[in-house]
Amino acid sequence: MQFTPALLPSLIQAIAETIEKNAEEVTALDQAIGDGDHVINLQRGIQALRPQSAELGQLDWAAAWQKIGMTLMSTMGGASGSLYGTLFITMSKAGRERALKLPAFAEVFSQGVTAVKQRGKADAGEKTMLDVLIPVAESLKQAAADSAALPEALKKITEAAIAGMESTRDMVATKGRASFLGERSRGHIDAGAKTAQLIICTIADVLAGHSATPS
């Protein structure tokens, strides 16, 4: 099954609701080892996308991702805005004139995550959103290699996102404000990893629901 950008209004709405529902929990995580403004910045970016959602739904994927990336980069602020902006803008470049079935999307997403690693000068194991994005990219590539059915692929992606988020609890932060805490950052889930997990799991839920609906 191949999804179209017509799903973007539903995806943006669902993500906005998920982040709002979990805002208090994520803010507490961020206040423990970060600046405490991660959710506010993220919601600023999501709110900027909402008026654009109908327009985004009319574009092709590459154009939609470009617009999303530019909007997030200009409205979110902080490290997250730059990193999410980089993710979507890179995906836009990688996805031009491609039919985005699972193998192609896995490659496009992987290129986006690689760009985030380069932009943030970070990798897995450093207590950041990359501890979610990297396992999800790997899960996508594995699902594509296995020719997995969509429900199984979405299940594996969700599991990878949750496991990646949970893995940050026992890590020592080496990036951002949390890095100043050293060993004291251990024992806390990273707020950026938590919101990345929430976003990915929400997208998977929406796609699963859409694929189960008779066309």
Q: Which CATH number characterizes residue 54's domain?
A: 1.25.40.340
pTM for the predicted model, two decimal places: 0.94
Q: What is the largest CA-CA distance in the chain?
A: 52
pLDDT of residue 213: 53
Burial class (CB in 10 A: 0-12, 13-18, 19+), 181: middle
Interacting residues of 28 by C-beta distance below 8 A, sequence separation 6+: none
Q: Which helix (H) or strand (E) holds 190?
A: none
pLDDT of residue 121: 94
pLDDT of residue 72: 97
pLDDT of residue 78: 79
| Residue 45, phi then psi, degrees to nearest 5 | -65, -45
Dist. CA 3–CA 106, nearest whole Å: 14
Domain with 177, as residue range(s), is 5-211
Q: What is the pLDDT along the chain (215 residues), one digit of tens a residue?
A: 568 999 999 999 999 999 999 999 999 999 988 888 999 999 999 999 999 999 999 999 999 999 999 999 999 977 899 999 999 999 999 999 887 789 999 999 999 999 999 999 999 999 999 999 999 999 999 999 999 999 999 999 999 999 999 999 999 888 777 777 778 779 999 999 999 999 999 999 999 998 765 44
* Tally of structural domains, the chain: 1
Q: Encode 93-110: b = buried (16+ Cβ within 10 Å), e = exposed.
A: ebbeeeebebeebbbbbb
pLDDT of residue 212: 62
